[in-house]
Chain A
């Protein structure tokens, strides 16, 4: 059994090798990317890796360690969001759906040498293939979306955003109330399965509310997501049955993590200049 540190070293050197040829990912949703995640004590529930492959390359015989994605736990216990999102929902949603997507993705990556080398954000964009998604897209994007979703919530969440996020919301929507109304409306008028996002648009340098269907993630349009809400029925059906309005209200009042939004916003400002002064032309 390979020790954890050795695995981490192998993984980081592998990742470094892969990353050296491409530019750093501009929009991973956390300050830490997946590769560096293993350098601190990981909060992963299980790690699948360590498949030794013998490589016969002429005279060189190297054993290759292949790494797979592990299922990231939400940053809170599964019952921490009670009574707004039950433990049962977390168990089925995270342990069932999210895990299935992840295992499906790993199986698909096993077979694809090209896709295997991408970082997670880039994988989502690459498999989207500009609107013609590859079969791996669904799994990759859904894993990404769900990771982002768990981190967009916290126990004791809701309430109002503060500081920079609040300022930007007020700038782009007029007021927090108006933003909240628009967000809720977007969620309730979404037909079928999908997600609702608050994203920062790079070109317009504005926050916008975006709805996506099924697995689509605004990363593919190069937007920077700030928070998201899962409007697939499996996200709320056990707790709220068909009462979507109640679910969305509860999310806004008690679950949404403005702290996470602040972190993501801070990072986004490294890539999007929000404070550009209006320089008058003489």
Chain B
């Protein structure tokens, strides 16, 4: 799989409707753009042993790819049938998946600087934040995502959950995602089976706090 170096800033600059930034192949077709599967900024085996290579390959090449294909199909239909309902769903999940692709990396080093301070301030410690996200993630029924969100207006961190592929925006327009953890069963089942709490425990080893810190510092320089 060809690796491309994606700069953190370009990932952070990706907007909800998926335009712009590296990682998308934009091919104008009859005036419409089609999207391609963005590459991951790391090798499939890079997140072992927290997330197995097999899961990463299937998750990226199958699930994510299917979403991209469906998105393109929906775009095609848009011209003919105004299939806005479906395409908006796909747009949402594009942003969620894209975000997660960028958000998992970095060896799980704990956040330093202002984000680290804010985490300690609000949650008491990094451990208690992790605990909270584990509890929320485990309690989520069905499929969804658990997020560490920044409330821009109130300047507060919070742990939020969304269902299916809803992006964080549905919880409030003032939320900015710092970290997103996929708790759809396909994200962990092959390795952890039904023990979702274990997956949520070990994923911290590969979480990209650096990226989260950068996003945070961008909002509050």
Contacts and interface: CB of A to CB of B under 8 A. Distances in A.
B152 interface: no
A191 interface: yes
B66 interface: yes
A96 B193 CA distance: 9
A215 interface: yes
A160 interface: no
Contact of B66 (A96, A237, A242): A242
A12 interface: no
Contacts of A100: 194
Contacts of A238: 189-190, 193
B56 to A, nearest CB: 13
Interface of B: 58, 62-63, 66, 89, 141-143, 163-165, 184-186, 189-190, 193-195
B21 to A, nearest CB: 26
Contact of A232 (B89, B142, B163, B195): B142
Contacts, number: 52
B194 A237 contact: no
A192 B66 contact: no
A138 B141 contact: yes
Q: Which range holds the interface residue count of chain A?
A: 20 to 34
Given A213-B142, A242-B66, 10 more contacts: A92-B193, A96-B193, A97-B194, A192-B165, A214-B141, A233-B186, A233-B189, A237-B185, A238-B189, A238-B190
A145 B164 CA distance: 20
B85 to A, nearest CB: 12
A232 B89 CA distance: 19
Contact of B186 (A191, A194, A237): A237
Given A97-B194, A242-B62, A242-B66, A237 B142 contact: no
B186 A192 contact: no
A112 B156 CA distance: 37
B86 to A, nearest CB: 10
Q: Top 3 nearest A-B pairs by Cβ distance? A: A233-B185, A193-B142, A214-B142
Contact of B89 (A93, A191, A237): A191
25 contacts: A92-B193, A96-B193, A96-B194, A96-B195, A97-B194, A100-B194, A138-B141, A191-B165, A192-B163, A192-B165, A193-B185, A194-B142, A213-B142, A233-B185, A233-B186, A234-B189, A234-B194, A237-B185, A237-B186, A238-B190, A241-B62, A241-B186, A241-B190, A242-B58, A242-B62
Contacts of A194: 142
A233 B187 CA distance: 10
Contacts of A213: 142
Contacts of B143: 192-193, 233
B66 to A, nearest CB: 7
Contacts of B193: 92, 96, 238
A242 B190 contact: no
B190 A237 contact: yes
Contacts of A237: 185-186, 189-190
Contacts of B141: 138, 214-215
A242 B194 contact: no
A232 B58 contact: no
Contacts of B186: 233, 237, 241-242
A192 B194 contact: no
Interface string A213-254: 111000000000000000011100110011000000000000
Nearest to B54: A241
Contacts of B164: 191-192
A255 to B, nearest CB: 20
Interface string A112-141: 000000000000000000000000001000
